[in-house]
Chain A
Amino acid sequence: MTEKILTTENVRLYYGDNEALHGINLDYDQYGITALIGPSGSGKSTYLRALNRMHDLQDNVTVNGNFMFKGRDIYAPDTDTVALRKEIGMVFQQPNPFPFSIYDNVAFGLRISGEKNKSVLDEKVETSLKQAAVWDEVKDDLHKSALSLSGGQQQRVSIARALATAPEILLLDEPTAALDPVSSHKVENTLMALRDQYTMIIVTHSMSQASRLSDRTAFFMSGDLIEVDSTKQMFLNPTEQKTQDYISGRFG
């Protein structure tokens, strides 16, 4: 058995007194893509956001359970969330570049952590944009505002921004939901190209996207993890009736 990079055990999450996740157990090998699918309100995004402590920003959310990232407890009181989020990066549904130039967007995380050397920054910006497969489209306008780009380009710049801090895990919360099919396709290709270097966990509503992209699929419903298996197995021959129903479009 290979070493797991991330394990989550008995994850329970409460909004106030309301339990939204009822004990999720999931772990992740290094590298590859895991897709989290399920109907709206099934808790898949909520679960994803627990992995890099994004819920810390909200006051009435309580997270219980055991989260181990490379043998360290993510929710230990002495965890440096700043450092943690550099190792577990995140890309959101809406492209959200900062209102600065493309270059400044990608260099942002590095600068915040104290990198000042121009040539290091230049190099990291270029590699990150290349990794995110948007370099060729923007290399001549690096000092143009990122907001002037198309939605698909903005999303790839957002991915580049997350990659620049060299995370080990990339969390993607419906990264193509706000994009047109052509842009979605490009973003998908980007993710495919990154699968051998990063551990990616992607929440998606698109069944076809999950089947195209992921190595492994987890099906969530009403705050429970119903089933997790290799994507091929899940889509061809699911064990659970609920999974079968959802995948064949009988509800959700």
Chain B
Amino acid sequence: MNAKNADKIATGVLYAIAGIVILILAALLGYILIQGVPHLSWHFLTAPASAFTAGGGIGIQLFNSLYLLLITMLLSFPIALGAGIYLNEYANPKSKITGMVRMTIEILSSLPSVVVGLFGFLLFVVQFNLGFSILSGAIALTFFNLPLLTRSIEDALATVPDLQREAGSALGLSRWETVGHIILPAALPSIVTGVVLSAGRVFGEAAALIYTAGQSAPALNFGDWNPFNISSPLNIMRPAETLAVHIWKINSEGIMPDAQEVSAGASAVLIIVVLIFNFSARYLSSYLYKRLTSTK
């Protein structure tokens, strides 16, 4: 067989593999959306769930998911940013300590999320007496989210050419000034992408939350914005079943007559929100990139 034919065959095989990947994704998305979208309505998106009768919604779970995501990001972003800056700008790549930090992050990122959840349950829920709460869930999700977010921030900083660092110090900037005034702004588009993509992952996470944020969604009073009241949506010490946990729960022990439909609808909402995160990451990043590189 000559090189030309071999090349043709290789090209064909690679196209086929890429095609299969796309097909699987399309089938999966298509199935979930076709099953779920017909059940979507304003009522479904806003009403509280009902345990025994048909016609319940996912309003509280949807709110819980978004709120938990916000708290998780507030906890994990500053830590990941600091760690990313340290690893890329300050750490000596050859030192043992840097190697250890990196290894720790890699191990943390390969921990199964259910293990992170059980750890969170034993430590925060039981030992620190935080109970099943948004706070416990957010801390568990922070553990789950930190490695990837740190890595993506580190990668974003690494894509800024060293020329920029040299230019900074040639102007007499300290390393910290160079990072703050030049490197971070230059890396902003990729950092934003990393944050939004990790938000999508956090949003869909269930296993780490089952034993930390809990499996119940107490009724919320959306007129009460005092974070210390138990029925206030802002209270971070209340148990909060999220959308992903809700799907898991109705599929394993749901006894409402329309469990199938609720599950399908909730799955569709989950997928749609994650897709929105993914697309907005792309859009935001290219928007920011354009703002940086061309006429505003």
A interface residues with partner B (beta carbon < 8 Å): 52, 54, 56-57, 59, 81-86, 89-90, 92, 94, 96-100, 108-109, 112-113, 141, 143-145, 147-148, 158, 161-162, 165
Residues of B within 8 A of A145 (CB): 291-296
Given the complex of chains A and B, what is the CA–CA distance between A98 and B177 in angstroms?
13
Given contacts A52-B170, A57-B169, A162-B171, contact A96 B294 (CB under 8 A): no
Residues of A within 8 A of B181 (CB): 108, 112
Selected interface stretch from B16-24, B160-168, B233-241: B160-168
Say whether B173 faces chain A, with CB atoms less than 8 Å apart: yes
Residues of A within 8 A of B295 (CB): 141, 144-145, 148
Least CB separation from A161: chain B residue:
B171
Least CB separation from B175: chain A residue:
A57
A184 to chain B, nearest CB (A): 19
Beyond A96-B167, A99-B185, A147-B292, 17 additional contacts (C-beta under 8 Å) are A82-B174, A83-B172, A85-B170, A85-B171, A86-B172, A89-B170, A89-B171, A90-B166, A96-B161, A97-B167, A100-B185, A108-B181, A112-B171, A145-B293, A145-B295, A148-B295, A162-B171
Q: Tell me if A85 and B161 are in contact (CB < 8 A).
A: no
Say whether B272 faces chain A, with CB atoms less than 8 Å apart: no
Closest 10 CB pairs of A and B: A85-B172, A96-B163, A90-B170, A82-B172, A147-B293, A99-B292, A96-B167, A109-B171, A99-B186, A148-B294
Say whether B226 faces chain A, with CB atoms less than 8 Å apart: no
Contact of B164 among A89, A90, A96 (CB under 8 A): A96
Least CB separation from A148: chain B residue:
B294
Say whether B129 faces chain A, with CB atoms less than 8 Å apart: no
Residues of A within 8 A of B170 (CB): 52, 54, 85, 89-90, 92, 162
Given the complex of chains A and B, what is the CA–CA distance between A244 and B264 in angstroms?
83
Contact of A98 among B167, B172, B174, B294 (CB under 8 A): B167
Least CB separation from B160: chain A residue:
A99
Majority DSSP secondary structure for residues of B touching A: helix
Chain B: number of interface residues, binned into ranges = 20 to 34
18 contacts between A and B (CB under 8 A): A52-B170, A54-B166, A56-B169, A57-B166, A85-B169, A85-B171, A85-B172, A97-B167, A98-B182, A98-B186, A99-B186, A112-B172, A112-B177, A141-B295, A145-B296, A148-B293, A158-B167, A162-B171
Q: Tell me if B167 and A165 are in contact (CB < 8 A).
A: no
Given the complex of chains A and B, what is the CA–CA distance between A147 and B92 in angstroms?
30
Residues of B within 8 A of A81 (CB): 172
Among B171-212, those with CB < 8 Å from A are 171-174, 177, 181-182, 185-186
Given the complex of chains A and B, what is the CA–CA distance between A84 and B171 in angstroms?
9
Q: Tell me if A99 and B163 are in contact (CB < 8 A).
A: no
Given the complex of chains A and B, what is the CA–CA distance between A148 and B167 in angstroms?
18
A13 to chain B, nearest CB (A): 17
Least CB separation from B170: chain A residue:
A90
